[in-house]
Structure 1
Amino acid sequence: MSGNPLAVAEPWDLVADGYAEFAPAIMQPFSDCAIEFAALTPSSQVIDVAAGTGLLSLLAAPQVAQVHAIDFSGSMLARLDAAAQAAGLTNIQTRVGDGQALPFDDEQFDAGFSMFGLMFFPERAKGFAELFRVLRPGATAVVSSWAPVQEAPLMRLMFSAFRAADPSVEEPQPNYLSLENPEVFQSEMRSAGFEGVSIQRHSTSLAFADAGQLWDTMARSSAPLVLCRRKLGEQVWAERAAVMRDYLAEHYRPHHPLSTTAFLGIGHKPS
């Protein structure tokens, strides 16, 4: 079992509001690519595993018959329900559940997705196996994972700000046993039974009006920062947040684009 603090629902419940508001600016280009790879049709039945606030579900719903969105965070799914209602989408069904034990029958879906969710599962093999199980023969699966921090100037800048506030923080190192490693990513999809597996690198850039907007976006939508805030307490967090904001004000040029990179794993269930 993993000791990853992001493999439980609590931090995602805490960050749900900010995530729903700010994360789409970073996430949408990757969800758009994933949907293109899946070749959806008006009759498609789709599953969105670890759906979060449902960006992919909301983008896919107008193109398909039904989307089933599952996540272990009820708070995240509540934001998805509200967004679907506001958009007049009636074909998204949400369900609180575990992506490692999907509450669906075998061979039920024509396409399956997990955008930056399965990567956190304590037992990724179960996540891939369950996704494979619920897909129909010939169906496409698309799973995404962040590339190493070193390949993402946006994340490097935020880490530098964090380190300015706490010099004891160690620089994040690539985890070659995770889906950050394309070879591991491909191997785990193949082991679950997927064929024609390819791992594709995609990048997107995001610019902010100023350092204040950058800070607000990341502080409100980042589960790791929310966890850090809870651990430190409000007084210490306020002190460190002030240092981080000052660092960003000094090092971020307004409207300068910052990129982040992800891997998309695309596989097919044999017909």
Structure 2
Amino acid sequence: MTIEENGFLLVPDNPLAAVDPWDLVAEEYAASTISVMRPFADRAVRLAGLSDRPVPPRVVDIAAGPGTLSLLAAEHAERVEALDFSEPMIAQLAEAVRAAGVGNVEARVGDGQALPFADAEFDAGFSMFGLMFFPDRARGFAELFRVLRPGGVAVVSSWAPADRSTWMQMSWRALGSADPDIRPPAPNPESLENPEVFEREMRAAGFERVSVVPHTVEMVFADADALLARLTRGIAPLALMRRSIGDRAMAERIEAMRSYLTEHYRPGSPLTTTAYLGVGYK
């Protein structure tokens, strides 16, 4: 089984399913990914109907990363419990909470496959591009279901296939220009990039009224250098690549990518990326 992170191939039994690569990129991830992640988080909050509830809900954000969704949810929630298995990511989240002056978000280190919460504790639960990485997705969905109250809603997101994203296609072509052995992933019908699998796994966990909604975000960059910076900052697979091949070889690859993007990206032209948001109710 394979999955993707910002268009890069991931395999659950490789180091990218562990905490180490996310620890490596936590600071840059927080700074560089918000332009992509925030629109999806905003859509998830709206799909969950947080602002429509007569009583502010209790919310859990699983694999919360630097807290992009947690901070949006906090605007409508009584309390948000944000959990991630990377301590540096949680440190970034806690700092963002302090900087925003938010008093209703609790950030903690923890495992999304063994949540440290009681049964039926939350009105809404989220996992934005997190549960898709779990080695045991069924367990992740089951834990999310367990901690929701009857009537509670869950929203989980996963990337759509690379061929639905001009952003991912550009990323893979740039990487391939630096190393011809790097190829884009083949479509994986057994992952959450398949809406039928997505819906089936949510229903198997007990969720009802399940829907899988596509959402597309458009990004525009001033020039190739701006695009390159977004492609290479805070990306866990590239952090592992750098550690594997060394700084000098990585610098050479980045320069090859720069040359490719200078030739093939027209400044100001839009690139898109699409995700699926699975919505289910307990």
Fold conserved between structures, TM > 0.5: yes
2:127 to 114, 120, 144: 114
| Corresponding residue number in structure 1 for 2:47 | 37
| Corresponding residue number in structure 2 for 1:176 | 189
Whether 1:97 and 2:110 are equivalent positions in the alignment is yes
Whether 1:129 and 2:142 are equivalent positions in the alignment is yes
Contact 1:182 1:263 in 2 (8 A): yes
| Corresponding residue number in structure 1 for 2:19 | 9
| Corresponding residue number in structure 1 for 2:80 | 67
| Corresponding residue number in structure 2 for 1:186 | 199
CA distance in 2, matches of 1:192, 1:177: 17
Q: Secondary structure at the match of 2:218?
A: strand
Q: Residue 52 of structure 1 aligns to which amino acid in structure 2?
A: G
Q: Secondary structure at the match of 1:228?
A: helix
User: With structure 2 as the length reference, what TM-score do the two structures score?
Assistant: 0.93
Q: Secondary structure at the match of 2:233?
A: helix
Q: Secondary structure at the match of 2:112?
A: coil
CA distance in 2, matches of 1:215, 1:126: 36
Q: Structure 1 segments of 4 or more deviating over 6 A?
A: none
CA distance in 1, matches of 2:122, 2:192: 24
Question: What is the aligned length?
Answer: 269
1:202-221 alignment, distance < 5 Å? 202-221=215-234
Contact 2:172 2:183 in 1 (8 A): no
1:21 to 24, 28, 31: 31
| Corresponding residue number in structure 1 for 2:260 | 247
Contact 2:90 2:109 in 1 (8 A): yes
What is the RMSD of the two structures over their aligned residues, measured on CA atoms? 1.1
Q: Secondary structure at the match of 1:178?
A: coil
Q: Secondary structure at the match of 1:119?
A: helix
- Stretches of structure 1 that go unaligned for 5 or more consecutive residues are none
Q: Secondary structure at the match of 2:280?
A: strand
CA distance in 1, matches of 2:15, 2:40: 24
Q: Report the alpha carbon displacement of residue 225 of structure 1 after superposing the two structures with TM.
A: 1.4
- Stretches of structure 2 that go unaligned for 5 or more consecutive residues are 1-10
CA distance in 2, matches of 1:127, 1:169: 30
| Corresponding residue number in structure 2 for 1:46 | 59
CA distance in 2, matches of 1:90, 1:164: 47
Contact 1:4 1:120 in 2 (8 A): no
